[in-house]
Structure 1
Amino acid sequence: MQTESHTSSPGFDALDRRLLSALALDGRASFSRVAAVLGVSDQTVARRYRRLCADGGLRVVVMRDAHRLGEDQWMLRVRCAPDSAPAIAEALAKRPDTSWVGLASGGTEVLCMTRPRSSGDHDDLLLGKLPRTPSVMEIRAHQLLHRFYGGAQSWVSKLGALTAAETEALRPRHEAAPGHVRITPDDEPLLAALERDGRAGYPELQRATGLTESAARRRLAALLASGAVFVDSECDPGIFGHPVSALLWITAAPSALHSVGEALAGHPGIAHASAATGPCNIIASVLARNTADLYAYLSGPLGQLEGVRHVDTTVFLRRIKQLTYRERGR
């Protein structure tokens, strides 16, 4: 068994990448299982996990898969006065129907992914609250039509930190069922607890739901197997050496839409890619080591894709919400 290396550097090392890659495969895997695969002690995994949470912004949560559930998803571009953008972003982040919020364009644009659970939620946001919000100058709404990469597919897996054998040993053993699936009202207490902490133990889930531990275990296993939900992780991509992130608004020839999207899914820096409505027909997020690396990607692999006609790039200034909202300073 390997021992944990000690260093005076506050940075993260290859073992941290391996641990994060393991959690990207199965965020609820026990420390003992992860330790056995990585060849370190349980205590090392627990210690590294706590440090990643404290210093790397790591969070593990259970997410609903809107694509699998047949629910609408929208990407909003909200242009507003610079002094009002942070407050508007924070207000959007607190809404339960938003899954991602960021600031971009020099602080004059709020980018927001919303998943309305009813037509009323959608109308309330796009026809009610946002248009009446002072300092909102323009709203562009893009409905996501098809996902090429994202959801249960984590960008962390593209780092290649694990061997094929390690990946297979850590991969969950359930397989998604075909067709759309349903989440019932009885599932809401269980999901609420797991959206706060995806690694919550079964005694905690029992207290949150009133189910027995075995019933909570069975229902969560069924939801994961169906694809209705998945375990996702959030961390600062800067700890992987990719501190620059941007949203790409890509216009592809209609006949090349699918081939361009599938090619994007295979690019190492792409964390999410979907076909969308609006002036562009593909929206993708990309991570880069620096601005030179971003330029190299835009002018190289992306720019040389057959069928790409136009690319608009929006660099993020700050993420306000990713996965679930967390109050500043917590």
Structure 2
Amino acid sequence: MDDSGMLSESDLALVTALQVAPRASWAAVAQATGLSAATAARHWQHLVETGAAWVTASPGQAVWASRCVAYVEVSCTPGDTLEVAQTLAQDPNALTVEVTAGGADLFLTVAATDLAAMSRYLLQRIDTIPGITRTNSRIATGLYRDGSDWRLDALPVRRSVPTTLGRGVDLQGGVSPARRTPIDRSLSLQLGLDGRATYADLAHRVGVSEVTARRRTAHLIRTGTLVLRTEVAAHRVGWPVSAILSIEVPVNLLSEAARTAARLRQMRLVATVAGSPSLISVAWLKQVAQIHDLEQRLVDTIPELRVTGRLTVLRTVKRMGRILDGHGHAVSAVPMDHWRDPLVGSAGRHEANDGI
């Protein structure tokens, strides 16, 4: 297997199956992909060891609604951008850190327990880092799509996905995040490091019984506190360009615009924010020029919509807790911890293939 070029068709199918159901059994994955269970497991282990793909657990929609999430544009003094990005990437509250071209040098996704904790992180942490000259923060008000919804759609033609691959998570009707307990927090951190860890391994790492690990994990996912997601090195699957759009739209059309954007194949993130402009979207593209086609599709659907800012990602330093190298491969991890006081010291790095 080539560790630098495009993934093979069988590996693309494997990643797609695990995007649909990140904790599916290898027997179910085999049924969906046409690989044997042993081959699927072996290929997946290679993808993880080389940092080409991984399964993590990120804050779910219920957390986005109950806690405080912000998108932050950062400007830096010339020559300091990458060092600032690497500093921020060590913060558990900074979920994603991207180096960008356009109106800002960095684009961050950050999370905290509430607005007060977010204020401490923005004012007493980010604003004090040497090399930062300006920040522009917008607090999320609604999440319409995130990376866990994005699919490669590379399963073999006419091969149906078994029902055993279903997520088993229903967020319709509204749910509240799981009541915070030390066990839930520990499980969240461990699943963030390895979303496919066995219940026996989770039980050992957290210090609970296997039955408790299974039951609490199911509760965290069912309530939308956590969402399991299969991530992949973008250039290895033919989507090497990431574009961030800031979109202004009249408030009476905001929800419609967000839903419209969320239906587009390329979208990885669509969120409404308290600020101007009021809508943020992140898309994966095959070429930089496709950003214009994407904008045109949005405007064709909602003529009142206006794109006011465009950022092109030059390098993703951290994506949902994973530290990435210059080629987009996962090399280590800083666990996402939205329960944590943002002014406490860094939780430290974990090698990406340690225990995965």
User: Could you tell me the TM-score, scaled by structure 1's length?
Assistant: 0.88
RMSD: 2.6
- Shift of the alpha carbon at 1:311? 3.4
Q: Tell me how far 1:188 sits from its aligned partner.
A: 1.9
Residue from 187, 199, 203 that aligns with 1:202: 199
What is the correspondence of 1:300-311 to structure 2 with a 5 Å cutoff?
Answer: 300-306=296-302, 307-311=304-308
2:27 maps to 32
Quick one: which amino acid aligns to residue 254 of structure 2?
A: L
User: How does 1:75-94 map onto structure 2 within 5 Å?
Assistant: 75-94=71-90
Number of residue pairs matched by the alignment:
322
Superposed CA offset, 1:233-253 (max 9, x none): 221122221111111001112
Higher share of residues assigned helix: 1
Q: Which amino acid aligns with 2:139?
A: Q
Give 2:76's aligned amino acid. Answer: C
Q: What residue in structure 2 maps to residue 3 of structure 1? A: none
Once the two structures are superposed, what CA deviation does each residue of 1:33-79 show, in whole Å capped at 9, x if it has no partner? Answer: 21123222112212321232244621111222254461110000111
1:145–1:277 Cα contact (<8 Å) kept:
yes
What is the DSSP-based 3-state SS (H/G/I as helix, E as strand, rest coil) of the residue aligned with 1:166?
A: coil
Q: For the residues of structure 2 that align with 1:120 and 1:281, how far apart are their CA atoms? A: 22
Alignment CA distance shift 1:283-1:13 (3 Å): same
Determine if the alignment matches structure 1 residue 96 to structure 2 residue 89.
no
Shift, 1:221, TM fit: 1.3
Partner of 2:126: 130
Partner residue, 1:279: 276
C-alpha contact 1:107 1:317 (8 A) present in aligned 2: no
SS in 1 for 2:109: strand
What one-letter code is carried by the residue in structure 2 that aligns with 1:51? Answer: H
The partner residue of 1:324 within 303, 321, 325 is 321
Contact 2:5 2:236 in 1 (8 A): no
Q: Residue 259 of structure 1 corresponds to which residue in structure 2?
A: 256
Q: Is the 8 A contact 2:73 2:104 kept in 1?
A: no
> What is the letter of the counterpart of residue 206 of structure 1?
A
Aligned to 2:186: 189
How far 1:106 moved relative to its partner?
6.8
Q: Please, what TM-score do these two structures have when normalized by structure 2?
A: 0.82
Q: Shift of the alpha carbon at 1:254?
A: 1.9
Q: Does 1:172 align with 2:182?
A: no
Distance 1:326 1:56, change over 3 A: closer
Counterpart of 2:243, as a letter, is A
Q: Which amino acid aligns with 1:249?
A: S
Aligned in 2, Cα 1:25/1:327: closer, same or farther, shift over 3 Å?
A: closer
Give 1:118 shift.
4.2
| Alignment partner, residue 343 of structure 2 | none
For 1:128-166, what per-residue CA distance to the aligned partner results, in whole angstroms no more than 9, with x for missing partners? 122222221111001111111116x42116x36466831
- Establish whether residue 17 from structure 1 lines up as the match of residue 20 from structure 2: no
Is residue 57 of structure 1 aligned with residue 85 of structure 2? no
Q: 1:52 to 1:311 in 2, by over 3 A?
A: farther
Q: What 5-or-longer segments of structure 1 have no aligned partner?
A: 1-5
- Report the secondary structure of 1:92's partner residue: helix
